[in-house]
Amino acid sequence: MNKHKIILLVFLISLSFVFSLPKFKIINNVTTIIDEDDNRKISINFPTTDIDKIDNKVKKHINTIYNKFINGSNEELNIDYKFNILNNKFISIVIISTIDENVTVKAFVFHKKTFKLLSLNDIIDKNNISNNFVEEVNKNGISVNLIYQNNNFYFDDNYLHIIFNTKQNNSFTDIPIDLEIIGIDKTITSTARKNIEFPYKVIDPTKKSIALTFDDGPTKYTKKIIQTLEKYDANATFFIIGNKVEIYKDTLLLMLKNGNEIGNHSYNHKWLTKLDDEEVIYQIKKTQNIIKEKLNYEPKIIRFPYGASNNKIKNLTTLEIVKWTLDPQDWHAKSSKYIANNIIDSVKDGDIIILHDSSKKTLDSLEIFIPKLISQGYNFVTVSELNKIVELRNT
Ligand code: ZN
């Protein structure tokens, strides 16, 4: 009997990454605020630049929505966003706010050089509109006068979108107008490809192993977290929010290159048990698709926002649902030491630890507990690696 046989796990990470030009350099970060209690769930994601003229306008709007929610008696606030830079000239930021069932869309278009907030009249002179444009707008039963009055519009790479919030039926109207109709060039996206192969990873399954998981990212701290993990030859799993993939593409590529795992955490952190089947599937699929498209990687695991699940939504995904076995309460911790001690005091072999990369205290705690646990013989692996280790130990 060879009880001391060391089985080596070899993980071949051969991912080919797609590189394209950094189109969205001006957006530095996505601010994420996630909070919950028994009665209310709040998830806010919005892009921030370093340009006050832009950020202040967006934040002011978000504050208005937030106050409306706080002063009301609704259960869920979800703020999602879209952004685009068209032809290096127009910055579009769209804020999609959902309070329970009510959706409000507010769009901002800024000039990229002057950061001036543009009106529809700045884009299309009201006194000089084409018949084609009038036709497109009228098709939707809406008058041209009204759209100038509402002044709620944004660009993507191919369309000018004109938005109408229709409060009566809890939805909004989006009139897409082909850029050709208004004489604006479409953005040409780069298709430059570069393939990189990554080396083997060797893991000893007889060693005490734990899986660190980080929810709700990426954030401005994620890159530092990845670097800290690398310093200690540690890996972790990141359950990411789909709407942030594009802005944090470089961070996510580094995450994968270093051998970390990415899991699905829905597209905009909605309370999934409150949604109908179709919407739940959309939240999961949209996230899978954007990760595949931007990172050429397919998550195999999912963690539901707020940890909220039931049998119905469990049956809507084939991804492995990952919970946690240790919660050091980092999201309301008073210090990094508190987080680190919570982990050091109760961690055991095989634990899955839930953390959040939205907190500086969490980042700082890594420098305390990782070296300490390494000295106690622990290995830091991803969730899928931990599954594999457990499986091997049981055979
Ligand atoms: Zn979350």
Indicate the pLDDT class of residue 189, thresholds 50, 70 and 90.
Answer: low
The region that residue 254 occupies, defined by phi over 0 for left and psi between -120 and 50 for alpha, beta otherwise, is: alpha
Under 8 Å CB-to-CB from 141, ≥6 apart: which residues? none
Distance (angstroms) between ligand 1 centre and the Cα of 291 equals 17
- The radius of gyration of the chain's CA atoms, rounded to the nearest angstrom, is 23
Assigned token pair, 138:
């009228």
Distance (angstroms) between ligand 1 centre and the Cα of 30 equals 15
Indicate the pLDDT class of residue 165, thresholds 50, 70 and 90.
Answer: confident
Question: Which of the following is catalytic: 55, 80, 215, 330?
Answer: 215
Encoded amino acid at 248, one letter: Y
**Separation of alpha carbons 200 and 144, rounded Å:** 61
Indicate the pLDDT class of residue 198, thresholds 50, 70 and 90.
Answer: low
Distance (angstroms) between ligand 1 centre and the Cα of 43 equals 8
* pLDDT at residue 23 in the model: 46
- The Cα-based distances of 76 to 73, 154, 275 in angstroms read 9, 26, 11
Under a CB-based contact definition with an 8 Å cutoff, are residues 201 and 134 in contact? no
Residues with CB under 5 A from ligand 1 (ion): 215-216, 305
Q: What is the DSSP letter of 261?
A: E
pLDDT at 227 exceeding the cut of 60: yes
pLDDT at 241 exceeding the cut of 80: yes
**Separation of alpha carbons 216 and 109, rounded Å:** 27
Average confidence (pLDDT) over 285-302: 95
Instruction: Label residues 100-125 b or e (16+ Cβ within 10 Å = b).
Output: beebbbbbbbbebeebeebebeeebe
111-128: pLDDT as tens digits? 998 999 999 999 999 998
Encoded amino acid at 320, one letter: E
80 catalytic per annotation = no
Question: Which of the following is catalytic: 61, 161, 269, 356?
Answer: 356
* pLDDT at residue 199 in the model: 52
Encoded amino acid at 198, one letter: F
* pLDDT at residue 18 in the model: 45
215 catalytic per annotation = yes
pLDDT > 70: percent of the chain = 89
Distance (angstroms) between ligand 1 centre and the Cα of 284 equals 14
Indicate the pLDDT class of residue 394, thresholds 50, 70 and 90.
Answer: confident
* pLDDT at residue 17 in the model: 47
The least confident of 79-93, 176-190, 263-277, 292-306 is 176-190
pLDDT at 352 exceeding the cut of 90: yes
pLDDT at 54 exceeding the cut of 50: yes
* pLDDT at residue 39 in the model: 87
- Indicate the pTM of the whole model: 0.85
Distance (angstroms) between ligand 1 centre and the Cα of 241 equals 8
Distance (angstroms) between ligand 1 centre and the Cα of 24 equals 25
312-321: pLDDT as tens digits? 999 999 999 9
Assigned token pair, 52:
């006050």
Average confidence (pLDDT) over 222-239: 97
pLDDT at 16 exceeding the cut of 50: no
